[in-house]
Structures are given as C-alpha cells and as structure tokens.
Amino acid sequence: MRCSKEVDGDATVDAIMIAAEYLKRIAAWSRELNEREIEAARAGIVEKSYRANEFIFMRGDPFDYWTGIVTGLARMSTVSSGGKAATFAGLTAGAWFGEGSMLKGEPRRYDVVALRDTRLALMDRATFFWLFENSVAFNRFLVRQLNERLGQFIGAVEHGRTLEATSRVARSIASLFNPILYPDMTRHLEITQEEIGALSGISRQNANQCLKRLEKEGLLRLEYGGVTIIELERLRNHGD
C-alpha cells in the first residue's frame, strides 16, 4: 500500500507501510531490537525523496525527525560560531543522524544537503522517544553512535585547516567507511570525483589530483564513477 503527496515543492513524502524486513535492510540498529520495538519503529517511519543539491535540513524546519539515508549521498556541514570554518561529514546509505538535536530539543545546528538524488527514512519524534525510553538495544546504539560521531568531529577540528588537500580527501573518504556509522559498507563506494570534492571542500579538479596521488600511494583504486578502498587505516591517518 502506498500513497504520495506533494510537500512544499520538490520533495515527496511516500507514506509507505514499511515492512519489518525492509527496516532491517535500511537501519542496522533495528536488528538488535525485539519484536515490539521493531513494530514501533516500523510504524513511526516514513520515507521522503530529495533531488540532487536540495537542502534536506536547514534552520527553522518545523518538523523534527531522526533521519536515515536509504539511498544516495548527503553532506553535513557545520560552521563554527564565528561563521567561518566549515567541517564536512559525508552521509551515505545506512547513516542515521539528528539524534543530538532530537535529544536536546534544539534546532539543528548544521545543514544537510543532498549531493545526489537521495531517499531518506524519517522517524517521528514520538517514536524516537518511545524507543529511547523503552529499548535498551536502541540506547546502546545511540551511545555508540554519539561517541563515534564525536570522535569524528574532534578529529576533523583537530586537523581541520592544517591538512593538505590530499589528506583531507583521504580522511573524508575513510570516514565514509566507519563501521559504526555506516555498518553495511563493502570496500567499494560509488561516488564521483565531483562528489568527493564537494565532501572535502575542494574543486573537482583538485580532488582528481589528490585521488590520483592516493592511488599512486596504493591506498585506493580509482574506477569510473567510484573508488575501491585498499588501505583503510592508512587513509584514515593520512597526513600524520
């Protein structure tokens, strides 16, 4: 059963009845839940599509959801309070985000932009809090996830400006392979060099040069429309 309605412009909410099996595919955390919890999660999630370059979240969105990426690619960017330096984090299929704003009841402090056509799963606030209060497994997941993301952002700030473009590229790619944030990844990632540039905050041309350097160093392999990671750890520490 499925019906759709148009919502302010391009994006579409698809009120799909999500099957439990499907939920397991799009949300790794749901595999740890018991029957009752899965049923609650399933019922509280709806899907929505975004086109490339569309803003997924910006300030002042009236509705708050905990959000997972079903397919596609998005960029999360935060600006420091001064309004200057931005740090980027890539979000690929399997990523869930927004729990921080949800838990604190704050507006989002970052922008999320779709880098290509992207399909999201949105969990409403009530469901999120029901799981938060009733599911041990869900809480375990949240703690790991928050901790992991904190580490990622600290790492980004720590090196931030100082890193060479090549190292920034290396690390942004490596961060897409974080097994906790993106549980279902293989070594291969379908991403264009233009998208890698957008994630790393550099031009496509520059990204191309950096990627070739990384390939020469034997850390990854370049393919048409994608990359395959060879040495994940060395990518992650690139530039130290």
Contact residues toward DNA (CB under 7 A) are 192-194, 204-205, 208-209, 211-212, 222, 224-226
CA distance 230 to 239: 17
Specify the residue, 107 or 226, whose C-beta has the smaller distance to DNA: 226
DSSP string, 214-237: HHHTTSEEEETTEEEES-HHHHHT
Q: 214-226 burial string, b = 16+ CB within 10 Å, else e? A: beeeebbeeeeee
Least distance in angstroms from the C-beta of 153 to DNA:
27
Least distance in angstroms from the C-beta of 210 to DNA:
10
Least distance in angstroms from the C-beta of 12 to DNA:
20
Specify the residue, 24 or 204, whose C-beta has the smaller distance to DNA: 204
Per the DSSP assignment, residues forming a β-bridge with 6 are: 12
Specify the residue, 28 or 210, whose C-beta has the smaller distance to DNA: 210
* Phi/psi at 111 (5° precision): -100, 150
Specify the residue, 10 or 61, whose C-beta has the smaller distance to DNA: 10
Least distance in angstroms from the C-beta of 203 to DNA:
9
Sign, CA torsion 187/189/192/196: negative
Specify the residue, 125 or 213, whose C-beta has the smaller distance to DNA: 213
Least distance in angstroms from the C-beta of 10 to DNA:
17
Alpha helices in the chain (DSSP H): 20-26, 35-43, 99-104, 125-134, 136-159, 165-175, 193-200, 204-216, 232-236
Decide: residue 3, CB within 10 A, 0-12 exposed, 13-18 middle, 19+ buried.
exposed
Specify the residue, 172 or 193, whose C-beta has the smaller distance to DNA: 193
Of 97, 230, 111, 88, nearest to 168 by C-alpha is: 88
Least distance in angstroms from the C-beta of 116 to DNA:
8
Q: Count how many residues are written for the chain.
A: 240
